[in-house]
Chain A
């Protein structure tokens, strides 16, 4: 069939003229069609009660937290007295850490915008949907491309003195090269699992590692004047 949609359906709203509805399911079916023969249960009470229990456990955990630790409250806001360092909420501290290295228009505007766009477009690329192993085709060529990208990225980060972002990049790159050499059935299961991962997995893992490291450093390792401090020495 020339039409490359997963699911082709034809119907006529006039029930007298066309009492039957016919659906053609092509080879690559959509999830709705795939799962019809699976074992099911009623949402009420099967799912609702489990969700209720999960939410109750969360509530217990948060109430315990609220009883044990008080939310921070400092002195009255004073525009004339700047605390050093002035920190954003923790989920923005990764960005604030980047502001230390790059101009605000890059770290504060360009990077967040690109991240949001990148997140939105993930499901619209066939390469992410098929999720084929990155090394399945032209393995050696792809290793070369990854090596070039990794080196360029590392040099770029080194030029801007972003050593803290360099570390996760190097670690992820090492894992990628290990993965590329793990296709043989004799290697351990974890390495074969790594081998099977698509490009999007590696990009997202790199992003997650960078976000976690930068946020942790912005939160715990930055003191007056955004200088490096060891949290256990303060």
Chain B
């Protein structure tokens, strides 16, 4: 009789090579499930167990997870877009036209990146307001809230720097409007603007700076803070599920 697919998978997961990579091996016990999380450098950011109530949709609306999901989509589509992009004037714009007319699925790639970027900004805001209205920022989670504010700012900068890259009229003037605001900073305004743009106007230098910020510095910073953000959830007592009813009853007894 032919072995079932699960049996083959279990055999694979029990093989010497597989077990040298993923330590947990086959098995459905809680110990195995715990090892999957504990013995993985990425997954061990999360706790091994979670409160059952946090899975209810109404508790989190899964907004944090969805924000991270949109970030993943942006990283993947962004890397693919980098393959077709030159941060130079006017090549940047002709690359957009190439995406439109030459590259297979180029339009789809750019659309997905653009709409995911808008979605991420929206989701970050939604996540922040949801956390606030649930009171999930309260101690011991106060510092994770601060990291969340930092991530909000990084998201806005990511979106803003990406806005310039197509080098069309929309991009150019949106960034001009934004950078004019920076020059309103007292005393250092014009220096900040010069540092930001690599010149007094939005030009090829600004495009290169925004490109480096958008594709290297800001995503790496974001990943760094996202890692801390996730790890702090575990360290601060797991996903917040509101005040448990059992404890309120106990407090009433006192």
Determine whether the beta carbon of B149 is less than 8 Å from that of A96.
no
Known A-B contacts A35-B244, A75-B169, A123-B137; the reply to A40 vs B52 at CB < 8 A is: yes
Determine whether the beta carbon of A86 is less than 8 Å from that of B177.
yes
Is B79 among interface residues, defined by CB-CB distance under 8 A?
A: no
Determine whether the beta carbon of A77 is less than 8 Å from that of B133.
no
Interface residue stretch chosen among B12-20, B107-115, B214-222: B107-115
Is B237 among interface residues, defined by CB-CB distance under 8 A?
A: yes
Determine whether the beta carbon of A120 is less than 8 Å from that of B166.
no
CA distance A123 to B163 in the complex (A): 33
Determine whether the beta carbon of B181 is less than 8 Å from that of A108.
yes
Known A-B contacts A43-B46, A77-B171, A129-B138; the reply to A95 vs B34 at CB < 8 A is: no
CB distance from A4 to the nearest CB of B (A): 12
CA distance A99 to B181 in the complex (A): 9
- Give the residue of B47, B54, B108 whose beta carbon is less than 8 angstroms from that of A66: B108
Query: Which A residues from 98 to 114 make CB contacts under 8 A with B?
Result: 99, 103-105, 108-109
CA distance A99 to B184 in the complex (A): 11
The secondary-structure label for the interface of chain A is helix
- Give the residue of B128, B166, B254 whose beta carbon is less than 8 angstroms from that of A73: B166
Determine whether the beta carbon of B112 is less than 8 Å from that of A63.
yes
CB distance from A203 to the nearest CB of B (A): 10
- Give the residue of B93, B137, B177, B237 whose beta carbon is less than 8 angstroms from that of A35: B237
Query: Which A residues from 11 to 44 make CB contacts under 8 A with B?
Result: 27, 29-32, 34-35, 37-44
Is A174 among interface residues, defined by CB-CB distance under 8 A?
A: no
CB distance from B175 to the nearest CB of A (A): 8
Is B66 among interface residues, defined by CB-CB distance under 8 A?
A: yes
CB distance from B216 to the nearest CB of A (A): 21
Beta-carbon nearest neighbor of B116 in chain A = A62
Determine whether the beta carbon of B181 is less than 8 Å from that of A37.
no
Is B80 among interface residues, defined by CB-CB distance under 8 A?
A: no
Is A70 among interface residues, defined by CB-CB distance under 8 A?
A: yes
Determine whether the beta carbon of A82 is less than 8 Å from that of B173.
yes
Is B174 among interface residues, defined by CB-CB distance under 8 A?
A: yes
Beta-carbon nearest neighbor of A63 in chain B = B112
CB distance from A97 to the nearest CB of B (A): 12
Determine whether the beta carbon of B55 is less than 8 Å from that of A46.
yes
Is B48 among interface residues, defined by CB-CB distance under 8 A?
A: yes
CB distance from B96 to the nearest CB of A (A): 6
Instruction: A40-B51, A66-B112, A76-B90 given; name 13 further pairs at CB < 8 Å.
Output: A31-B240, A35-B247, A38-B53, A55-B65, A71-B114, A73-B166, A76-B93, A77-B93, A79-B203, A88-B178, A99-B181, A123-B138, A123-B145
A–B complex contacts, Cβ < 8 Å, 21 sampled: A30-B140, A30-B237, A31-B236, A34-B243, A35-B238, A38-B241, A40-B50, A41-B55, A43-B33, A43-B48, A71-B111, A73-B166, A76-B167, A76-B169, A77-B171, A89-B163, A89-B178, A109-B181, A120-B145, A123-B146, A129-B138
